[in-house]
Amino acid sequence: MTVSLEEFTRRMQSAIDVLVKELSGLRAGRASANLLDPIKVDAYGTYMPLSQVGTVTAPEPRLLVVQVWDKGMVKAVEKAIRESSLGVSPAADGQLVRVVLPDLNQERRQELAKLASKYAEEAKISVRNVRREGNDMIKKLEKDKAISEDDSHRLVDDMQEVTDKHIKKIDELAAVKQKDIMQV
């Protein structure tokens, strides 16, 4: 049995993919259709992502518009947006739900920047856990004499290199998002 860094690299990359999705849901200075991605709508007896009951667009910097496909779902969409943690008040207009985004004050910007940091830290923890699992596997293989001590050290070093690369990418993503959030 050998250790393939590809599997661990893939798992570390998936932590970054989750981070990107979480960061896209954080509001910066302008409206983004991704802002409504985390919202689930009580539709047809189950909770569905908003993107499965309507189309979200951002026609203006501070306005999101949801074109609800089923007229009967407009109230449910409106309710789901109102009850979300976004702190916005949607307004229904036929099959459209308009969401006007208020200006972000400095305090709210700082809260969002902290949240971005929290998401980044969670992603780093995930990457480090993958590294720990990989290193444990390498040490077990060495103990079982399946690989040499030299191979073990080389693999541990390679694992650390992959980890460092992913941690650096996480830091970069978080810094860009925080700068975006704090920009007035």
pLDDT in tens, the chain (184 residues): 566 789 999 999 999 999 988 887 776 666 777 777 778 888 888 888 888 888 888 888 778 898 988 888 888 888 888 887 677 788 888 888 888 877 777 887 888 888 889 999 999 999 999 999 999 999 999 899 888 899 899 999 999 999 999 999 999 999 998 888 887 6
pLDDT at 28: 65
> Rounded to whole angstroms, how far apart are CA atoms 41 and 18?
21
Cβ proximity of 138 and 159 under 8 Å: yes
Domains of the chain: 5-23+105-182 (1.10.132.20), 30-100 (3.30.1360.40)
Q: What is the DSSP letter of 86?
A: T
Q: For 32-166, list the strands marked E by DSSP.
A: 40-43, 46-49, 54-60, 63-68, 90-93, 96-100
C-alpha dist (Å) from residue 1 to 5, 143, 144: 13, 13, 11
What lies within 8 Å, CB to CB, of 58 at 6+ separation is: 30, 31, 32, 33, 64, 65
Q: For residue 104, give the nearest of 89, 87, 80 by alpha carbon.
A: 87
- Bridge partners of 46, per DSSP, are 43
Q: What is the pTM of this model?
A: 0.70
Neighbours of 96 (CB within 10 A): 15
